């Protein structure tokens, strides 16, 4: 099978297209033939060595495809079924192994490309809005990278819950996409100071929660956008890691809260995985949650996919299609 392999960490050039044997499923595993792979910032962190992995390795974790073979002891799935997971180790490939406990069935009528586009980013948006800071009607949220994959989905979920979404984006075109997703106000951070705008838009009160996937360049001002006892959910670092921070500042800014969540802790049980994936895939199947999947690349162009993601040249979800 064809797959991307990383022999040493570094720039996009370390993503090599190679031929590898098709893996054999062990106990509790399912072999899937991948039809669409989600591209995410976490793979860039692994490629650069920010997150550690034994070398060589095939990157990727999110994919949808068809069940090819069941390992010993696996029940509940059958060959030919369309499935999806955010635990597809080595998903930059034509085939991959998935722990059956982390695999879900895709609703009828939903294409593998849609499932792959929805799983990681959709469930991330779900846990942020339903669990990290459970939003209620009347709350106000600031969402950075509002036209990105998570940003567009999170904005839709925030408005679905009756809360107000204020977003930041870099271009007028992205601003239009964010408004279409339901943002009540969109801030062009390349032209406006988002802290000043947020305070103006909230009559100086600030927001209840900031959902920040950017990190280094937004962190300080994100804190300043919060109202007393507000929460900053720092769930990514696309601009780089946040520098060391003295927690005493939280009291001076209004007894604030900070959390650094990750999806894996919010789908740690089968019941949570089924809840979040069931909601997200169900909404997509019923067209109640709209995806943007216009950016698809072949495996051979995986490096370009990561370049475009890192340089923020895309909107919505990026997919690899073997």
Q: What is the pLDDT of residues 266-304, one digit of tens each?
A: 999 999 999 999 999 999 999 999 998 878 999 999 999
- 306 within domain boundaries: yes
Residues 254 and 271 in one domain: no
Residues 26 and 106 in one domain: yes
CA pair distance 209, 101, nearest whole angstrom:
32
How is residue 148 annotated by DSSP?
B
DSSP 13-43: GGEEEEE-PPP---TTEEEEEEEEEEE-HHH
Whether residue 316 is predicted with pLDDT greater than 80 in this model: the reply is no
- 280 within domain boundaries: yes
CA pair distance 257, 45, nearest whole angstrom:
26
Chain centre to alpha carbon of residue 192: 26
- Is the distance from CB of 221 to CB of 195 less than 8 angstroms? yes
Query: Which structural domain range is residue 170 located in?
Result: 136-260
The verdict on pTM exceeding 0.85 is yes
Of 218, 245, 260, the one marking the end of a domain is 260
- 100 within domain boundaries: yes
- Mean residue pLDDT of the chain comes to 95
Q: Residue 34: what are its φ and ψ, rounded to 5°?
A: -75, 130
Q: What is the pLDDT of residue 18?
A: 98
Whether residue 54 is predicted with pLDDT greater than 80 in this model: the reply is yes
CATH of the domain at 249: 3.40.50.720
Quickly state the pLDDT bin for 214 (edges 50, 70, 90).
Answer: very high
Q: What is the pLDDT of residue 55?
A: 96
CA pair distance 136, 133, nearest whole angstrom:
9
Q: Residue 203: what are its φ and ψ, rounded to 5°?
A: 55, 35
**What does the pLDDT look like over 134-172, one tens digit per residue?**
999 999 999 999 998 899 999 999 999 999 999 999 999
């Amino acid at each position: 099978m064809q797959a991307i392999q990383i022999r040493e960490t570094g720039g996009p050039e370390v993503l090599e297209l190679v031929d590898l044997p098709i893996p054999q499923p062990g106990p509790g595993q399912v072999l899937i033939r991948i039809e669409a792979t989600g591209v995410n910032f976490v793979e860039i962190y692994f490629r650069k060595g920010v997150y550690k992995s034994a070398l060589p390795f095939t990157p990727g974790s999110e994919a949808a495809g068809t069940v090819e073979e069941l390992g010993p002891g696996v029940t509940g799935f059958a060959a030919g079924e369309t499935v999806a997971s955010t635990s597809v180790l080595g998903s930059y490939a034509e085939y991959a192994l998935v722990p059956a406990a982390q695999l879900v069935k895709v609703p009828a009528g939903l294409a593998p490309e849609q499932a792959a586009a929805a799983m990681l980013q959709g469930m991330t948006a779900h846990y942020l809005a339903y669990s990290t800071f459970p939003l209620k009607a009347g709350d106000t949220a600031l969402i950075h990278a509002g036209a990105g994959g998570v940003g567009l989905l999170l904005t839709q979920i925030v408005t679905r819950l009756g809360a107000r979404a204020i977003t930041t984006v870099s271009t007028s075109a992205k601003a239009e996409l964010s408004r279409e997703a339901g943002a009540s106000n969109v801030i062009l951070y390349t032209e406006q100071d988002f802290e000043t705008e947020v305070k103006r838009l909230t009559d100086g009160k600030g927001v209840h929660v900031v959902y920040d996937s950017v990190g280094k360049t937004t962190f300080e001002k994100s804190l300043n956008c919060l109202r007393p006892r507000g929460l900053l959910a720092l769930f990514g670092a696309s601009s780089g890691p946040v520098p060391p921070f003295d927690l005493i500042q939280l009291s001076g800014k209004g007894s604030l809260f900070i959390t650094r969540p990750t999806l894996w802790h919010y789908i740690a049980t089968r019941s949570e995985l089924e809840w979040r994936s069931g909601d997200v895939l169900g909404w997509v199947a019923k067209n109640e949650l709209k995806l943007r999947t216009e950016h698809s690349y072949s495996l051979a162009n995986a490096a370009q996919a990561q370049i475009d993601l890192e340089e923020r040249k895309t909107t919505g979800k990026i997919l690899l299609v073997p």
